[in-house]
Amino acid sequence: MADDMNPEKLLIKVCGMKDAGNRRQLEELPVDLFGFIFYPPSPRHAGDLSRTALQELADTLKMKAGVFVNESTGRISAISRLAGLTHIQLHGNETVAECRELSDMGLSVIKAFRIGYDFDFHSTRGYEGHCSYFLFDTQAEVAGGSGKKFNWEMLENYTGDTPFFLSGGIGPGDAGLICRFSHPRLAGLDLNSGFEDAPGLKNPEKLKYFLEQIQQNHSKSENH
């Protein structure tokens, strides 16, 4: 892998937010995107909130990503307008055409790929130019996150142009590991269950500690 990453420039996405009060607790942290999951089987499903509660949850000046799994573009568009979404994360078997359609609506598309030991990175090529970001997560039996890491060394095989979020099992103790990882297209981190007290309820202190550790590790590397 190429250049050393600069953690100061990494985008931080905190996904699976479901409670407006909890979201407000995180507002002062260096979080760039809040993620809301619109997938009924998920314990972090925000789609069953009332219209008022959803709008309160999404009442932030920070960027907002809606996570969908094999959902129609019409419904995605309607929810994005209601919640003021800036990004759409597609975590199912969505086609290049669907990504292009959503991108043409002015939405930034994040296409998720689940990485197993035999993942073929050539499968991402058709999505180039139609997605703002890719997201590489751990392969699981069901759609959505697994809370487990995949072998990040596999990303040496990714040579595309689209920047990506690193996802899958990242927790408070992983700052050093992340700071030792580098890839020229690494754009951000996707944080979720590793920072929770309960599904959809993030622990502000765990997040604060992790982000401080990222910064401290970066400062140490600069001084050597």
Residue by residue, what is the 3-state secondary structure of 76-112?
HHHHHHHHCCCEEEECCCCCHHHHHHHHHCCCEEEEE
Number of domains, the chain: 1
What per-residue string of b and e applies to 147-185 under the rule 16 or more CB within 10 Å gives b? eebbebeebeebeeebbbbbbbbbbbebbeebbebebeb
Indicate the helix (H) or strand (E) that contains 212: helix 204-222
The verdict on residue 28 lying in a domain is yes
197 vs 56: CA distance, rounded Å:
21
Q: Which residues pair with 109 in a beta bridge?
A: 88
Specify whether the CB–CB gap between 163 and 109 falls below 8 A.
no
The residue range of the domain holding 174 is: 7-222
Tokens found for residue 28: 């002062």
Residue 183 lies in a domain: yes
Instruction: Identify the segments of the chain with pLDDT beneath 50.
Output: 1-8
123 within some domain: yes
Residue partners of 42: CB distance under 8 A and separation at least 6: 16, 144
Q: What is the pLDDT of residue 126?
A: 97
Question: What local confidence, expressed as pLDDT, does residue 78 receive?
Answer: 96
Q: Is residue 60 part of a domain?
A: yes
pTM: 0.91
Residue 50 sits at the vertex; the CA angle it makes with 45 and 52, to the nearest 5 degrees, is 120
Cα–Cα distance between 30 and 63 in angstroms, integer?
Answer: 12
Q: For the domain that residue 134 is a member of, what is the CATH number?
A: 3.20.20.70
Amino acid at 168: G
Residue 101, domain member (yes or no): yes
- The pLDDT value recorded for residue 222 is 52
Helices (H) and strands (E) in the chain, counts: 6, 10
98 falls within a domain: yes
Write out the two tokens for 223.
């001084």
Q: Does residue 68 lie within any of the structural domains? A: yes
2 occurs within a structural domain: no
